[in-house]
Amino acid sequence: MKTVLVTGAGGGIGAGIARVLAKRDWHVVVNDVSASSCDKVAADIGGTALPGDVTADPAGLAEAALAVNGRLDGLVNNAGIIRRGPLSDLDPADVDAVLGVNLRAVVALSAAALPHLSAAGGAIVNIASMAAEVPQLNGGLYAASKAGVVSFTRQAAVEWGAEGVRVNAIGPGMIRTEMAEAVYADPVMYERRRALIPVGRIGAPEDIGRVVAFLLSDDAAYVSGQHVLVDGALTQTLMAHFPQPPC
């Protein structure tokens, strides 16, 4: 059975990705730093829980995922964190944490999984962000870390294409998850955000999961090195803010 490792899948977008992939007959190895949420999602979808911090032992994580079914066809680097603050006042510990989880772990786990994915003709999907393309004000180094993920994705796609491994990234827009729950719990803030999105709604984790499923599938056999924005066209609205003469 095709097997995929999804990091940070104990909640939010990662759990949504895991649910979509399980419905499409993937065996999902559910990683999260929280063992209890890992166990719950894995039990819900009939997957395998593999708790652990993605920054701790990437090679061990890749080996353990391989050992579940003796094959690894997909890797979804989804675990991510944000430490908010202005660029003029960054806490070095926050910089290390954000770069460690969002970028270094993505690179290290991808490299560790590469031989297994290569043997299976597999693919990697990195969950970046629309913040890789447009700044996230007062988001600390979050946007820079995600821009790094996109750059890594493009380079890895070129370096690893000959090994039969495709590498793509997804840039979620505004998705309702625990990471952003403080914002969405406020109905005024929720409506102000929703009104900005051309397709008329805040995204759900499954919106990202379905695009992950496509990028891992043979339907995407000729797609590599891309950053696919899944944002309801939010990032295309800049010109809508310009005053215009009447038509």
Interaction site with ligand NAP (CB under 6 A): 7-8, 10-14, 31-34, 37, 53-55, 78-81, 101, 127, 129, 172, 174-175, 177-180
| Shortest Å, Cβ 30 to ligand NAP | 10
Burial of 226 from C-beta contacts in 10 A (0-12 / 13-18 / 19+): middle
The reply to whether 142 belongs to the active site is yes
| Shortest Å, Cβ 164 to ligand NAP | 26
DSSP string, 178-242: GGGHHHHTSHHHHHHHHTT-TTSS-B-HHHHHHHHHHHHSGGGTT--S-EEEESTTGGG-GGGGS
| Shortest Å, Cβ 7 to ligand NAP | 6
The residue among 53 and 63 lying less far from ligand NAP, judged by its C-beta, is: 53
The residue among 119 and 197 lying less far from ligand NAP, judged by its C-beta, is: 197
The residue among 6 and 66 lying less far from ligand NAP, judged by its C-beta, is: 6
Place of tokens 């759990």: 15
The residue among 94 and 118 lying less far from ligand NAP, judged by its C-beta, is: 94
Distance of CA 218 to the CA centre of its chain: 20
Element of type H or E holding 67: helix 58-69
Amino acid letter, 177: T
Indicate the Cα dihedral angle 50, 74, 124, 229, nearest 10°: -90
> What is the three-class DSSP state of 4?
strand
The residue among 119 and 216 lying less far from ligand NAP, judged by its C-beta, is: 216
Beta bridge partners of 29: 5, 48
CA distance 123 to 216: 6
| Shortest Å, Cβ 142 to ligand NAP | 7
| Shortest Å, Cβ 217 to ligand NAP | 20
CA distance 183 to 188: 9
Which positions are annotated as active-site residues? 142
